[in-house]
Chain A
């Protein structure tokens, strides 16, 4: 319990309320898409009907790479990046470093190939800068759209990152001011909603969800604004002060790139042997491999691993590219462990919630959705007190439209993805689908009376969710039996999540509450 003077409490309440009113709807979009993006790998696998192999990076890749590197221009044979995509393909990016005329920044430039891990066949190939080439395949459209909406609201760089960074700071203000305002934090965590009046009940639910999500909201806001501002603002500024504006030098110091250079040509060590040794050291299959100076005496191989059992953060192993010798564990920043590395390493797991596999991801999704609920109920409370004013009344309709419009847009985009997958440019059609379904929701918001809006939009969203698995399978998506036989239970699980979400929305639309009530157990029934 924090005691503050009446004057200070008044100021905090004003800041808590006004910051949410001004930025609440944008914040809701960012938090909702963030909650969905926690499952981005699962959504990616579901959208393309599952993974070809369970662990593409565990497949032998050395011989294929040696063949393929001979096919790319010599300038692009400097570095190679390797990772597995959601479809279970190996993605190899042969690249060099050059200035991107569009952004003026030094970037990776080269040829990216999607490779079938079973046959070594190149499925797709494209040449571009690093900022453009990744996640640009037809199967990446849905998950990339969701991530970009969360990360930069699809605004151009760096404005999108500034916008989401500011929204992160607004969320930080809301979380800290919420903590300071709540005089009875423990009591608030166990408050039971009272069915005596709509406003009281809504306030109780807002306080209850807000109290439980307070720490999570703080963590999310802090790490989120860090990720937004780190590259858009922090790195350029730090580079100016410490490196005379040289961002590449700043990055090399942070990443601990060795300065010694030896361009003498030397045959590369076997990558499959390096992967096997790295997997034995880390206790997990490699997630990402970066080869610098391919075929040179100073070549180094970095192999990144997801957190192993009982660990919060992942591991990066360093190998000599020429000899294949294991050089040790490489800290994510610098060359030796430091406090800065530990703090930096914690940012990812805390923001993405991937430190304990699917379980922690589900917890993160639920807490993220609770934050969305807090944002929307907070706005509704603010507007309910001002419903006499026509201007505030109009904003109340906007809250309903955005609250339902964002998931409607996302579900609609998923339908359009399945319609266009393998038939047209999925990236274009996913974006068009989101815009189209959002405009449809806005039109419904303008045409329908407020009393009917809530139920209509909930029903519309429910129908879109329920129909998603059918659209997926009818348009050639992997059937359940085939998915289960191929070890792609995630496809079936995501279909079930869609149907369940749809049923919940349909119940809300029918005025039944989001889940069945067991009369004997509810306080309403007891009184």
Chain B
């Protein structure tokens, strides 16, 4: 913490600041969870057939950090939000499909 500047970035309105909070906070968290779960569908299985299971769990902190800093450093928070949302939706499809199959099986 070597701050010698104000806590709120100067020259930035409440709107973009709130957008950045939403994108870098809850949206990034949900997106990184969905990316981790969805990765099992597209990540290569590898010789042992476990890479698609192991790497999503191993990389979760890195996925979150990458998305968080992208949301934090992009000049336009809404653009970052749109990219992260698209990533979340693309990876969320296999997750939703698996949950639906699970529910049907349980029913």
Interface residues of A (CB under 8 A from B): 4, 7-8, 10-18, 20-21, 168-169, 172-173, 176, 181, 203, 206-207, 221-222, 225-226, 229-230, 233-235, 237-238, 240-242, 244-245, 250, 253-254, 256, 331, 333-341, 343-344, 347, 378-379, 381-382, 385
Residue of A nearest to B99 (CB): A240
Q: How far is the CA of A52 from the CA of B98 in the complex (A)?
A: 52
Residue of A nearest to B66 (CB): A176
- B49 at interface (Cβ–Cβ under 8 A)? yes
Q: How far is the CB of B92 from chain A (nearest CB, A)?
A: 10
Please tell me which one of the listed residues A206, A229, A344 contacts residue B54 in the complex, with CB atoms under 8 A apart. Answer: A344
9 pairs, CB–CB < 8 Å, chain A vs chain B: A7-B11, A176-B65, A207-B2, A238-B37, A238-B57, A240-B37, A333-B54, A341-B48, A382-B1
Q: How far is the CB of A213 from chain B (nearest CB, A)?
A: 14
Given contacts A17-B7, A244-B102, whether A344 and B58 have CB atoms under 8 Å apart is yes
Q: How far is the CA of A244 from the CA of B52 in the complex (A)?
A: 15
Q: How far is the CB of B51 from chain A (nearest CB, A)?
A: 4
Residue of B nearest to A230 (CB): B57
Given contacts A237-B33, A240-B99, whether A340 and B65 have CB atoms under 8 Å apart is no
- B31 at interface (Cβ–Cβ under 8 A)? no
B residues in contact with A20, CB < 8 Å: 1
Residue of A nearest to B24 (CB): A15
A residues in contact with B11, CB < 8 Å: 7
Q: How far is the CB of A505 from chain B (nearest CB, A)?
A: 25
1/0 contact trace for B87-107 toward A, CB 8 Å? 000000011001101100100
B residues in contact with A379, CB < 8 Å: 1
A10 & B9 in contact (Cβ 8 Å cutoff): yes
B residues in contact with A339, CB < 8 Å: 46, 51, 55
Q: How far is the CB of A334 from chain B (nearest CB, A)?
A: 3
B1-33: which have CB < 8 Å to A? Answer: 1-12, 20, 33
Q: How far is the CB of A490 from chain B (nearest CB, A)?
A: 33
Q: How far is the CB of B53 from chain A (nearest CB, A)?
A: 5
Residue of A nearest to B37 (CB): A237
B residues in contact with A245, CB < 8 Å: 102
Residue of B nearest to A383 (CB): B1
B58-103: which have CB < 8 Å to A? Answer: 58, 60-62, 64-65, 68-69, 72-73, 75, 94-95, 98-99, 101-102
Q: How far is the CA of A339 from the CA of B12 in the complex (A)?
A: 45
Please tell me which one of the listed residues A14, A181, A230, A344 contacts residue B8 in the complex, with CB atoms under 8 A apart. Answer: A14
Please tell me which one of the listed residues B8, B36, B48, B95 contacts residue A333 in the complex, with CB atoms under 8 A apart. Answer: B48
B residues in contact with A241, CB < 8 Å: 37-38, 40-41, 94-95, 98
Q: How far is the CB of B88 from chain A (nearest CB, A)?
A: 14
Q: How far is the CA of A21 from the CA of B3 in the complex (A)?
A: 12
A residues in contact with B105, CB < 8 Å: 244
Given contacts A14-B3, A381-B2, whether A336 and B36 have CB atoms under 8 Å apart is no
Q: How far is the CA of A333 from the CA of B58 in the complex (A)?
A: 13
Given contacts A241-B40, A340-B48, whether A234 and B57 have CB atoms under 8 Å apart is yes
Q: How far is the CA of A229 from the CA of B2 in the complex (A)?
A: 30
Given contacts A241-B98, A337-B47, whether A378 and B1 have CB atoms under 8 Å apart is yes
Q: How far is the CA of A16 from the CA of B65 in the complex (A)?
A: 13
A residues in contact with B51, CB < 8 Å: 338-340
A238 & B60 in contact (Cβ 8 Å cutoff): no
Q: How far is the CB of B104 from chain A (nearest CB, A)?
A: 10
B10 & A240 in contact (Cβ 8 Å cutoff): no
